[in-house]
Amino acid sequence: MPENNSDQTNEAVTTEAVTTEKVKTEDVENKAKETSNLDKDKKEPQDDPKEEKKKSGIFFKLLKIVAVLLVLACLVISIISYRFPDFFEPDFDEAVLGDATMSTLIKLSDDMLYEWFPNDVVWPTIFIDNTDQFQLGQLEVLRYSVRVLRDNLSRLRTTDKIDPNADAAYTNYSNDPMRWMLPSAEQKFKKGQQHLEIFRQNLKDKKANFYPRADNLIELLSQQNSLLGGVCTRLSVIPDDFNEFVSEDTPGKPSELVPVNKDWMDIDNEFYYAQGVAYSLRQLMVAVKVDFAEILKLKKADELADSVIKVLEHTQWEPKYMVMNCSPGSWIPCQNDPMMLSSRLQDTRQKIGSLIKMIQD
């Protein structure tokens, strides 16, 4: 019995010792975990609201910088793209009849298509003003000229077959200038220019014809004079004190007042469109003096043709600040740009009308 009691006592002591050791071990482990958690808390501090505001402030500053850079880029592109063509002399072969006219039409088309703005739908070029209207004026002169080339200049008689390249050129130039895809206006106009280049080459190879007769010159000048008439009408109704405009006489009907509703924002559009027409017509008249030199000399109309060219040269000026349409009694010291341009184009119309009469006589 005593031995059993001693054994039990020893076992109890051993068990208590083991338990005590386990408790001590657990305490040590818990303390170690608490220490490691404290270290982590020291290493990873909680987010500070001030720091978050500072980060968001830096982000918005970067956005502002990017926006400013984009605006500056747009301005630079707009300034570079804002250009008007200079006057030029036709590069032609004197031995080829009509080469001066064809060279001029191709050069006008090439300058016009350097950058075509009227159909732009995305920035920054969508914000470029004035040059798009100038290009539309150039296009109109091209259309009128190519139509006369197709119907008159390239044919001996009206019953002759129409030249396929002249016809294709006119068809392509008749495309909607505002169309920007499928196909774009530029694509169609470039095809028209390619057909003009083929026609010019055919003239040199004697596979196409150009007849610089008096009746053809009269038709060419009459068509351009008709175009000028419409341009002058559009310029004449710009002043803000004009609410009605006298229509042209029609057979059997007296003149009547036509209501006019011209928006103030259209002032510069009409001005630069008219300048585009005048610029292109000046270039065409220079070519006319070359290709129709014999007729002009025969009718003693050389000086009058030179006078037309000089007047058209004085239609190209850039307003100092903006296109103004000040009335005579205005307290603002400014000029009326549209009316000044209209008066010079009216002078041109009168001279071309006189030129036509001289050729007819």
Q: CB of 295 within 8 A of CB of 214? A: yes
Q: CB of 141 within 8 A of CB of 223? A: no
Q: What local confidence, expressed as pLDDT, does residue 22 receive?
A: 55
Q: Give 24's pLDDT tier (boundaries 50, 70, 90).
A: low
162 is in which domain, residue-wise? 82-360
Same domain, 9 and 96: no
The model's pLDDT over 132-167, given as tens digits with 9 standing for 90+, comes to 999 999 999 999 999 999 999 999 998 899 999 999
Q: Is 151 helix (H, G, I), strand (E, B) or coil?
A: helix
Same domain, 262 and 321: yes
Q: CB of 212 within 8 A of CB of 294? A: yes
pTM: 0.77
Q: What local confidence, expressed as pLDDT, does residue 1 receive?
A: 47
Q: What local confidence, expressed as pLDDT, does residue 304 receive?
A: 96
pLDDT of 44 over the 50 cut: no
Same domain, 25 and 130: no
Helix then strand count (H, E) for the chain reads 11, 2
Q: Is position 317 within any domain?
A: yes
Q: Is 144 exposed, middle or buried (0-12, 13-18, 19+ CB in 10 A)?
A: buried
Domain count, the chain: 2
pLDDT, average across residues 82-100: 92
pLDDT of 326 over the 70 cut: no
Same domain, 116 and 23: no
Q: Is 129 exposed, middle or buried (0-12, 13-18, 19+ CB in 10 A)?
A: middle
Q: Is position 59 within any domain?
A: no
Q: Is position 63 within any domain?
A: no
Same domain, 11 and 141: no
pLDDT, average across residues 78-93: 86
| H-type alpha helices, 44-176 | 49-81, 99-112, 131-148, 164-173
Same domain, 118 and 236: yes
344-357 as b/e, with b when 16 or more CB fall inside 10 Å? bbbbbbebbeebbe
SS3 content of the chain, % helix, strand, coil (to 5): 65, 5, 30
Q: Is position 51 within any domain?
A: no
Q: What is the mean pLDDT of the chain?
A: 82
pLDDT of 250 over the 50 cut: no
Q: What local confidence, expressed as pLDDT, does residue 3 receive?
A: 47
User: Could you tell me the two tokens for 62?
Assistant: 């970067």
pLDDT, average across residues 55-59: 73
Same domain, 192 and 264: yes
Q: What local confidence, expressed as pLDDT, does residue 66 receive?
A: 86
User: Could you tell me the two tokens for 108?
Assistant: 């006008």
The model's pLDDT over 252-302, given as tens digits with 9 standing for 90+, comes to 555 555 555 566 667 888 999 999 999 999 999 999 999 999 999 999 999
Same domain, 130 and 11: no
The model's pLDDT over 297-324, given as tens digits with 9 standing for 90+, comes to 999 999 999 999 999 999 999 876 677 7
Same domain, 12 and 110: no
pLDDT, average across residues 59-84: 78
Q: Report the alpha-carbon angle 164-170-172, nearest 5.
A: 100
Q: Is position 286 within any domain?
A: yes
Q: Give, rounded to a whole angstrom, the gap between the first and last alpha carbons of the chain.
A: 161
For residue 253, the cross-strand partners are: 250
- Considering only residues 18 and 153, tell me which one the structure prediction assigns the higher pLDDT: 153
Q: What local confidence, expressed as pLDDT, does residue 115 receive?
A: 86
Q: Is position 54 within any domain?
A: no
User: Could you tell me the two tokens for 241?
Assistant: 């004190």
Spatial separation of the C-alpha atoms in residues 147 and 8, rounded to whole Å: 127
Q: Is 192 helix (H, G, I), strand (E, B) or coil?
A: helix
Same domain, 161 and 261: yes
Beta-carbon neighbour count of residue 167 at 10 Å? Answer: 19
Q: Is position 46 within any domain?
A: no
Q: Is position 95 within any domain?
A: yes
pLDDT of 212 over the 70 cut: yes
Q: According to the per-residue pLDDT averaged within each range, which of 53-57, 101-105, 244-248, 326-330 is highest?
A: 101-105
Q: What local confidence, expressed as pLDDT, does residue 258 receive?
A: 55
Same domain, 296 and 214: yes
Beta-carbon neighbour count of residue 235 at 10 Å? Answer: 24
Spatial separation of the C-alpha atoms in residues 297 and 294, rounded to whole Å: 5
Same domain, 8 and 150: no
